[in-house]
Structure 1
């Protein structure tokens, strides 16, 4: 199974926008679901781009599985994001005006893609996620975030995403030049809270 480039858009037309937000849904979710967060964010002048995973999942196993167990889906999902970024740049929006947001599996994919392709982006928001793999494969990550603001919110505990992986991921992003804020909420559950949305607005969508 491979992901076709199936994109839902909202907000300003890309030809009129100066900024773009790429929103990445979680397992079992959809592009239309994740776009419903946009009205709660300071992104009214942005073009919103949400790729849709085939079968509503980006990869079949846990993000903590050895990466080979999530192939070829994982590489294919990363390729879809690469195409979306390239298309956005080709439309006239520079990387430093491209923002990323993901939830759960989408948050893991967001962090994995941006850290493999570290650059000066507008900002990165990961609602409950961490870098992908049975451990962190530092050799996969290159580039420099040049103070890109990154916000990661997660729960302690979270059934899918261990807090240790959130902290490990945040530390690696900091070493690669990101301005990272990671907030761990006691007993939050596997969800997105109003407080997390406020923090995303305060730190990233300024």
Structure 2
């Protein structure tokens, strides 16, 4: 199970009204994902990045049955929930809480916000989709109330099929998220300059 460890950067949370929570990918680290913020329009944000135990949030593919990734998956979602609760307890409005992640971290980010839909500041998923061997729509309820969400991915991607990205977009839109999905031909499993520009334009433009 994961131990709660959060690395911070950017503004002190007491000196700003906007927070970005970043979720690293498999084999990555909180420090790695925080370095992404240097390319985002987030200089006025407090930045928080939880660290997965052994650098992995859950053991197998996000396309496995959820039970195969337990108890790690539930533990990871609980860590994010605790970080969000900590931020809100500091007086930050949920509509000023932003979340983002790459790969495994993008999948986890999307799974968390869709299980806990509400008006967030915005969500960025660099190569990710909802978790499971199929879409478990019974896990998802609530109203995003126009929350802007950007999902970028490669076609093909070795880990995330475009079909799951499109299914995820459909679920998010049905819950009133304002979703922009962009599929990049043969981009590879990475974050492109265009994705960064899209995130800045669509999400971090306030």
TM exceeding 0.5 = yes
Could you tell me how far apart the structure 2 residues matched to 1:142 and 1:195 are?
A: 31
Q: Where do 1:81-160 residues align within 5 Å? A: 81-160=80-159
Corresponding position: 1:205 with 2:204: yes
Deviations 1:138-183 (A, max 9, x none): 0001110000000000000000000000000001000001000000
Q: Where do 1:156-195 residues align within 5 Å? A: 156-195=155-194
Could you tell me how far apart the structure 2 residues matched to 1:11 and 1:62 are?
A: 32
Could you tell me how far apart the structure 2 residues matched to 1:144 and 1:61 are?
A: 30
Deviations 1:60-101 (A, max 9, x none): 010000000000000000000000000000011011000001
Could you tell me how far apart the structure 2 residues matched to 1:87 and 1:35 are?
A: 18
Aligned Cα root-mean-square deviation (Å) = 0.4
Q: Which ranges of structure 1 fall in alignment gaps of 5 or more residues? A: none
TM-score (norm 1): 0.99
Match of 1:52 in 2: 51
Match of 1:28 in 2: 27
Structure 1 residue 8: deviation in Å? 0.4
SS in 2 for 1:15: helix
Match of 2:69 in 1: 70
Deviations 1:10-63 (A, max 9, x none): 000011111000000000000000001101101000000000000000000100
TM-score (norm 2): 0.99
Could you tell me how far apart the structure 2 residues matched to 1:95 and 1:42 are?
A: 19
SS in 2 for 1:119: coil
Could you tell me how far apart the structure 2 residues matched to 1:73 and 1:142 are?
A: 22
Q: Where do 1:4-43 residues align within 5 Å? A: 4-43=3-42
